[in-house]
Amino acid sequence: MNTDIQQRTAIRTALLLQLEAASPIGLPLDTLRQGLRLAGFQLEESRVAKELDYFVGKDWAEKTAALLNAGHFVFRLSATGRDALESEGLV
């Protein structure tokens, strides 16, 4: 497997696991980015946003407006996202 593909898979897995841990509450992008830093990934905000948009497009996550911060969003794990984690034996 290509190193770039392995890294992308590890990043996506880390994001999905963060969303699963926060479920059903969800997390904002900045919190998810901080979690990735703690996992050893130093990513630009735009890269994390791109991965989260991919999740929304795959129906692995839902993007909703944050209740307390206008203009900010919260990402929540969807049932399809949970199924993806389960199929990999991660939850």
What string of pLDDT tens digits covers the 91 residues of the chain? 577 899 999 999 999 999 999 999 899 999 999 999 999 999 999 999 999 999 999 999 999 987 776 678 999 999 999 999 999 888 8
Q: 3-class DSSP state for residue 27?
A: strand
pLDDT of 65 reads: 86
**What domains can you pick out in the chain, each with its CATH number?**
3-87 (1.10.10.10)
How far apart are alpha carbons 56 and 1 in whole angstroms? 25
pLDDT of 51 reads: 95
| Cβ-contact 66, 41 below 8 angstroms | no
pTM for the model stands at 0.89
| Cβ-contact 71, 78 below 8 angstroms | no
User: What tokens appear for 80 in the block?
Assistant: 């399809």
Residue 90: other Cβ atoms inside 10 A: 12
